[in-house]
Amino acid sequence: ELNMDLFAEQFKTKAQGPPTDLSKLKVKVAEKAPSKVSLLEPNKAKNLAITLRKGGMSPNDICIAIERYDQQSLSLDFLELLERFIPSEYEMKLLQNYEKEGRSLEDLSDEDRFMCRFGKIPRLAQRINTLTFMGNFPESIKRLQP
């Protein structure tokens, strides 16, 4: 007679590993930190997180550099990436309503907190366009000269 338990143990793949105890698995899920609230579309939030890491600056420093038109801190490539994340009216309404409800910004994900701060920069789109123009200006002059 064939012992199926012994047979399965001998021929299982290494990827399967030892059988997991489901009671321990539930404990791990319960220990997970409470998730942050995100008001942004998940794909946009993920892309924003990647872009912010590329910038190499804190989100607050990025906003301050934009407010001060600091070209040394913000590369032209990074500005062009940020331009895609200028919050829409709908996104700004979501963030404003969240704040009006008196809910803590600390409960928001890092990306949402950045968007909240980013969206409050006066004339944001014009500032980013101006910084991009200023960054491209020397190259434009070279192309125009004979």
Q: For 36-66, what is each residue's pLDDT tens digit?
A: 778 889 999 999 999 999 888 999 999 999 9
* Residue 111: inside a domain: yes
* Residue 33: inside a domain: no
* Residue 2: inside a domain: no
Tell me which residue range forms the domain holding 58: 42-144
| Number of domains the chain contains | 1
* Residue 1: inside a domain: no
Q: What tens-digit pLDDT sequence spans the chain (146 residues)?
A: 678 777 777 777 655 556 655 555 555 544 445 567 788 899 999 999 999 998 889 999 999 999 999 999 999 999 999 999 999 999 999 999 988 998 888 888 899 999 999 999 999 999 999 999 999 998 989 998 87
* Residue 102: inside a domain: yes
Supply the pLDDT for residue 6: 78
CA distance 46 to 66: 22
**Alpha-carbon distances, residue 17 vs 10, 11, 25, 65 (angstroms):** 12, 12, 15, 51
| pTM check: above 0.75 | no
Close Cβ partners of 31 (under 8 Å, ≥ 6 residues apart): none
* Residue 81: inside a domain: yes
* Residue 59: inside a domain: yes
CA distance 35 to 30: 12
* Residue 51: inside a domain: yes
Supply the pLDDT for residue 58: 93
